[in-house]
Amino acid sequence: MRKEHDFLGEMEIPDEVYYGVQTMRAMENFHITGEHLDKDFIIAVATVKKAAALANMETGRLDPGIGNVLVQAATEVMQGKFIDQFPVDPIQGGAGTSVNMNMNEVLCNRALEIMGKPKGRYDIVSPNNHANMAQSTNDVFPTSIKVCIIMKSKGLLRALRRLTDELEVKSEEYKDIVKMGRTHLQDAVPITLGQEMGSYASAVRRSIHRIERAIEGVHTINMGGTAVGTGLNAEPKYIQSVARQLSALTGEMFITARNLIDMTNNTDAFADFSGSMKATALVLIKMANDFRLMASGPRCGLNELKLPPRQPGSSIMPGKVNPVMAEVLDQTCYQVIGNDIAISLGVENGQFELNVMEPVMAFNLFNSMRYLTNAVNAFVDNLLINLEPNREQCAYWLDHSVGIITALLPHIGYEQSSMLAKEAYMSGRPVKEIILEKGLLTQEQIEYILSPAEMTQPGIAGAKLLHTDQGNHIEHHKKISGEFY
């Protein structure tokens, strides 16, 4: 054991560990989640510390003999070493001070070890005087959150792009499968399964753009603002240098906020990013629920999609298979939405020059990113790639639907179409059969009007065939409609 002290008193620390007295106090005080700090976040904090040490050496304030060993220690943490030396709970009081001091102590004790000195010799390399030079938890912690968001966003965006790509593949594969479109959960008008898949791809692509815009906002940092954003104990040259050093280390363009006080006490950038994930979650829930409905049955539901069977669905009903991958995507998205509420409450609860609720924001942001990334990848791998359409069932519902009557409106009028719909509902007979029986249209006309190309694109279905004398006008109308859509 070794003895370390702070202004509250002395504590005994196991000599093999790299953390120190302030970390030990946090371990005693905060037993909240039972979880560890996110590994990427630990790496992000080490990256910020390395940038700060390089900037302080550049200004001449930090002795290179100390600065270089701190840089070496930070580099090792960035490489994934000593991750087990960060035992503090992610949710903690103190606005992240425990995380900041945990890192400072680990870096200093590793630096002392590199120098051949015993751990705890903070008179040689100090967690406060050296590792924390020109810094405060109040600029280090939020900046580290932003670095970690950017790190994790790459995996999230990659997963969402995979989803978009696979949906677009399905859109092309299913472009000729005409099915019944539905509004209000009732039969509407025909649509192709490919068009539905394309609409999901479009919505996910929009979600990607929304996340990318939010990421732009976390490239603005408050390093050098120190305690309240006034820059106390930080040299102007350091403030310019630390953003440049951080950019070089991460390959991202970090810029110093014009108003460091604002950037220190406002955390709306985190709400913006969390909101982009929430909106994405809403898009994914809608899509997943559509898949569940289209795959319902299979004997007594819509049965338009065949989901890959992934596990037995019941402990009592033999042969039952459930849409588990769509269900787990839904549940993950619910959690992301719940996390967004916690983040929102944290963001609005800042007072004066600091928002002390950043630990709960970080915890939920990182969890949301990890959960969403994993769930989207699982949905693509275990459902979407091996998804199969039920072409026969799609055709059956289409043939037995009254919704196709809408395509007949320009040719037989609303009143006649309504009578057809009523008779079809009452008799249960296919619409095509009734039309032919009444002699309203020929077989050729029906097939043309109700063809996939005619029913699922802008324009008046069958107009060219039925109104050849107006052909030029109709073709012009369809051309303009096509360009608009």
| Interval 224-254: pLDDT, tens | 999 999 999 999 999 999 999 999 999 999 9
Name the residues annotated as catalytic: 314
Q: 5 in helix, strand or coil?
A: strand
Q: Supply the pLDDT for residue 466.
A: 53
What share of the chain has pLDDT > 90, as a percent? 78
Q: Supply the pLDDT for residue 439.
A: 87
Q: How far apart are the C-alpha atoms of 395 and 388, rounded to whole Å?
A: 15
Which residue segments constitute the domains of the chain, with CATH numbers given? 2-133 (1.10.275.10), 139-390 (1.20.200.10), 402-484 (1.10.40.30)
pTM: 0.91
Q: What is the CA radius of gyration of the chain?
A: 31
What share of the chain has pLDDT > 70, as a percent? 94
Q: Chain-wide mean pLDDT for the chain?
A: 92
Q: How far apart are the C-alpha atoms of 455 and 158, rounded to whole Å?
A: 36
Burial class of residue 329 (count of CB atoms within 10 Å of its CB; 0-12, 13-18, 19+): buried
Which residues does 392 contact at the CB level (< 8 Å), separation at least 6?
Answer: none
Task: Give the residue, 327 or 469, on which the prediction is more confident.
Answer: 327
Q: Supply the pLDDT for residue 363.
A: 98
Sign of CA dihedral 134, 140, 143, 148: positive
45 pLDDT more than 50: yes
458 pLDDT more than 70: yes
CB 58 within 8 A of CB 99: no
Q: 179 in helix, strand or coil?
A: strand
Mean pLDDT in residue range 318-331: 95
476 pLDDT more than 50: no
pLDDT bucket at 460, cuts 50 / 70 / 90 = low
Q: Supply the pLDDT for residue 477.
A: 38
pLDDT bucket at 33, cuts 50 / 70 / 90 = very high
91 pLDDT more than 60: yes
475 pLDDT more than 70: no
Name the one residue in this structure whose structure tokens are 């369809």.
478
Name the one residue in this structure whose structure tokens are 């994930």.
277
220-221 vs 255-256, strand pairing mode = parallel
pLDDT bucket at 370, cuts 50 / 70 / 90 = very high
pLDDT in tens, 408-443: 888 888 888 888 888 888 898 888 888 899 888 888
Which residues does 402 contact at the CB level (< 8 Å), separation at least 6?
Answer: 187, 420, 421, 424, 425, 431
Strand stretches in 287-414, DSSP E: 305-306, 388-389
Q: Supply the pLDDT for residue 213.
A: 98
pLDDT bucket at 473, cuts 50 / 70 / 90 = very low
Q: 65: how many CB neighbours lie within 10 A of its CB?
A: 10
The first and second tokens of residue 237, run together, are: 């040259």
Least reliable range by pLDDT among 120-124, 293-297, 365-369, 409-413: 409-413
Q: Supply the pLDDT for residue 485.
A: 29
List for the chain the helix, strand, coil content (%; round to 5).
Answer: 60, 5, 30
Q: Supply the pLDDT for residue 471.
A: 44
Task: Give the residue, 473 or 187, on which the prediction is more confident.
Answer: 187
Mean pLDDT in residue range 358-380: 98
470 pLDDT more than 60: no
Q: How far apart are the C-alpha atoms of 281 and 448, rounded to whole Å?
A: 41
Q: Supply the pLDDT for residue 293.
A: 98
Strand stretches in 177-235, DSSP E: 178-183, 186-192, 220-221
Alpha helices, DSSP H only, in 97-179?
Answer: 97-114, 137-173
pLDDT in tens, 149-184: 999 999 999 999 999 999 999 999 999 999 999 999
Name the one residue in this structure whose structure tokens are 């990113």.
369
Sign of CA dihedral 19, 20, 21, 22: negative
Q: Supply the pLDDT for residue 461.
A: 60
472 pLDDT more than 70: no
Burial class of residue 9 (count of CB atoms within 10 Å of its CB; 0-12, 13-18, 19+): exposed
